[in-house]
Amino acid sequence: MFLSSLRLYQFKNYESFGAEFCPDVNIIVGKNGAGKTNILDAIYYLALTKSYFHSTDLPSIQHEKNLFTIKGIFSSPLTPKGGTDTIEDTKGLNFNIFLGIEKNQKKILRFDEVPYTKINEHIGKIPVVMIAPADDTWLHAGSEARRKFFDGILAQIDNLYLGYLLRYNHFLTQRNSLLKQCEGRTNRIDLTLLEQYDEELLYLCDKIFEKRTAFLEIFIPIFLEYYDFIAGNSTENTESPALSYVSQVAQEDFKQQFKNSLTVDIFKQRTSFGIHKDDFEGLLNGYSVRKFGSQGQQKSFLLALKIAQFFVIQQQKGFSPILLLDDIFDKLDDFRMQKLLEILQNPIIGQTFITDARPERSQHLFKNFIKKYQFLEL
Ligand SMILES: Nc1ncnc2c1ncn2[C@@H]1O[C@H](COP(=O)(O)OP(=O)(O)O)[C@@H](O)[C@H]1O
Ligand SMILES: [Mg+2]
C-alpha cells in the first residue's frame, strides 16, 4: 500500500499544497519550519484521522481559518495476505481518502467519495508507523503514553480490540461521573446504575487483558530480535532486555478488589481498578530501562519498539504499513543510523517518508541505498 498523491488545503502552514510520491523512499528536505513534519502529520491523519502530535484537531487548522482538508490517493496490494507490495500488483486498485475537519462540526471522512458512518471503521485500512523525536515520552511520562503506544498498534490490527477499548473508555467515563455526582457520600450513589457499569467494565477488562496478553506474545520476540540487532555487539547489549506487562487484572482476586474499592472510589471520585491502570515496563537484566538505562540503551530500546511495531503490523495485516520517519537522523548516532538504514533496505518495508533539514546528509546516506528513492524539496 502506498500513497501516490497528497493534496492539502489550509492544513497548518499549507494554504494549498500538492505532491506526488514514489512507492519506495521519499525524502522530504527543507529548512526548519518549512513544513516537513506537517506533511508526515497529514499522512498520519489520512491513516488514523487524528494528528500524531496534537490530541485535538484545532491546532492543525491554519491560523485564522475554520477548516482544513486532506486528500490522498492510495494504491493497495492486490493480494493482501503474503502478497508482494510492488507497483505491478496494484494496477486498478487505487482508492482515495478525503478528510475534512471544520471547527464545531463533525469530522468528514470519505473512502472513494463514500462517507463513513463510523469513522473507526477506517482505522487499520491504511496502517502507519511514525517514528518522531517526541517519542521518548514512552520513557519519561506516566503509564498513559505506554498504554497508548500498544493501543495504537492493536487498534490498527484488531478492530474488535478497538471496539472493546472505546466501550471501556465510555463506561469508565460514565462510572467516574456517577462517582462525582455523589460528592463523596456513599449513601447517595445510584447502585443500580453502578451495577450495570461495573458489569460492563469487568467484562471488558477481561477481554482487553486477554488481547493485550496475546498481543505481547507476538510482539516481544520481534522486539527482542530488533533490540539485539540495533544494539549490536556494543557494551549496552551485555544485559538481556525484556518487556513486562503489569496489570491489576492479572491478580486472582481482581474482581473482588474492584468491588471492594467502591468506598475509596466514591471518596476519590474516580475508578481505582481496571485496565486503565495497566502499565508496560521495559527491563534490562531485570531493571527498569526508564529509571536505570543509559542514554544509548534507552535509544536502542525506543527504536526497537518502533521497528517491532512496524513488523508486527506488517505480519498481522499481510502488507506493509507506511513508515514515517521524522528528523530521525538528528536523533541517532552513526551506529544506530547505519542499523536503521540496513533495516530500511529490507524488501518487506514498503513506502517510507523521511524528513531531513540537511539535504546533503541524506544525499550522502542514501548514495549506496539499494531501493529507489526520491527527494522532495520544500
Ligand atoms: N495551525 C497552523 N497554522 C499556520 N501555520 C502553522 C500551524 N501549525 C504549524 N504551523 C507552522 O508550520 C511550521 C512548522 O512546520 P513543520 O512541519 O514543523 O516544519 P519542519 O518540520 O520543516 O521544521 C511553522 O512555521 C509553524 O508556524
Ligand atoms: Mg520537523
Q: Are 173 and 301 found together in one domain? A: yes
- Most confidently modeled of 183-192, 287-296, 315-324? 315-324
Q: Is the CB of 4 under 6 A from ligand 1?
A: no
Q: Are 310 and 330 found together in one domain? A: no
Classified as helix, coil or strand, 289 is helix
Question: What is the residue range of 112's domain?
Answer: 6-127+325-378
Q: Is the CB of 37 under 6 A from ligand 1?
A: yes
Confidence at residue 81, expressed as pLDDT on a 0 to 100 scale: 44
> Average pLDDT in the 13-37 region?
97
Q: How far is CA 47 from CA 24, 50, 155, in A?
A: 18, 8, 12
Confidence at residue 186, expressed as pLDDT on a 0 to 100 scale: 77
Q: Are 303 and 208 found together in one domain? A: yes
The total domain count for the chain is 2
Structural element, H or E, at residue 205: helix 191-231
Q: Are 194 and 287 found together in one domain? A: yes
Classified as helix, coil or strand, 98 is strand
Q: Are 77 and 113 found together in one domain? A: yes
Q: Is the CB of 67 under 6 A from ligand 1?
A: no
Confidence at residue 134, expressed as pLDDT on a 0 to 100 scale: 79
Q: Is the CB of 32 under 6 A from ligand 1?
A: yes
DSSP 116: P
- Look at residue 132 and tell me if it is in a domain: no
- Look at residue 272 and tell me if it is in a domain: yes
Final residue in a domain of this structure, among 269, 289, 318: 318
Q: Are 260 and 371 found together in one domain? A: no
β-bridge partners, 244: 281
β-bridge partners, 285: none
Determine the Cα–Cα distance for residues 89 and 254; give it in Å rounded to an integer: 50
Final residue in a domain of this structure, among 268, 294, 318: 318
Nearest CA-CA partner of 13 in 57, 63, 50: 63
Confidence at residue 296, expressed as pLDDT on a 0 to 100 scale: 86
Cβ 108 vs Cβ 122: under 8 Å:
no
Is the pLDDT assigned to residue 203 strictly greater than 80?
yes
Q: Are 153 and 99 found together in one domain? A: no
Cβ 212 vs Cβ 245: under 8 Å:
yes
- Look at residue 185 and tell me if it is in a domain: yes
Is the pLDDT assigned to residue 288 strictly greater than 60?
yes
Is the pLDDT assigned to residue 66 strictly greater than 50?
yes
Probe residue for ligand 1, chosen from 6, 8, 9, 12 as the CB with the greatest number of ligand atoms within 8 Å: 12
Taken in order 342, 343, 347, 353, the sign of the CA dihedral is negative
Cβ 129 vs Cβ 52: under 8 Å:
no
Sequence-distant contacts of 294-297: CB under 8 A, at least 24 apart: 294/236, 296/231, 296/234, 296/236, 296/333, 297/231, 297/236
Confidence at residue 89, expressed as pLDDT on a 0 to 100 scale: 45
Cβ 21 vs Cβ 27: under 8 Å:
no
Determine the Cα–Cα distance for residues 25 and 74; give it in Å rounded to an integer: 15
Q: Are 146 and 240 found together in one domain? A: yes
Share of the chain above pLDDT 70, in %: 94
Indicate the average pLDDT of the chain.
92
Model confidence, pTM: 0.93
Q: Around ion ligand 2, which residues have CB less than 5 A away?
A: 36-37
Confidence at residue 318, expressed as pLDDT on a 0 to 100 scale: 92
- Look at residue 247 and tell me if it is in a domain: yes
DSSP string for residues in 304-356: HHHHHHHHHHHHHHSSPPEEEE-SHHHHS-HHHHHHHHHHHTSTT---EEEEE
Nearest CA-CA partner of 154 in 312, 342, 332: 312
Instruction: Give distance in angstroms: CA of 353 to centre of ligand 1.
Output: 18
Q: Are 284 and 205 found together in one domain? A: yes
Q: Are 149 and 271 found together in one domain? A: yes
- Look at residue 72 and tell me if it is in a domain: yes
Confidence at residue 235, expressed as pLDDT on a 0 to 100 scale: 58
Q: Are 196 and 235 found together in one domain? A: yes
State the residue for C-alpha cell 540503551: 297
Classified as helix, coil or strand, 101 is strand
DSSP string for residues in 139-163: HHS-HHHHHHHHHHHHHHH-HHHHH
DSSP 246: E
State pLDDT tens for residues 115-146: 999 999 999 999 999 999 878 888 888 899 99
Angle formed by the axes of helices 295-317 and 191-231, nearest 10°: 110
- Look at residue 179 and tell me if it is in a domain: yes
Q: What is the CATH number of the domain that holds 266?
A: 1.20.1050.90
Q: What is the CATH number of the domain that holds 91?
A: 3.40.50.300
Confidence at residue 237, expressed as pLDDT on a 0 to 100 scale: 59
Instruction: Give distance in angstroms: CA of 311 to centre of ligand 2.
Output: 25
- Look at residue 56 and tell me if it is in a domain: yes
Final residue in a domain of this structure, among 318, 337, 355: 318
- Look at residue 120 and tell me if it is in a domain: yes
Tell me which of 77-81, 248-252, 260-264 is least confident: 77-81
More confident residue, 89 or 67: 67
Q: Are 329 and 314 found together in one domain? A: no
Q: Is the CB of 12 under 6 A from ligand 1?
A: yes
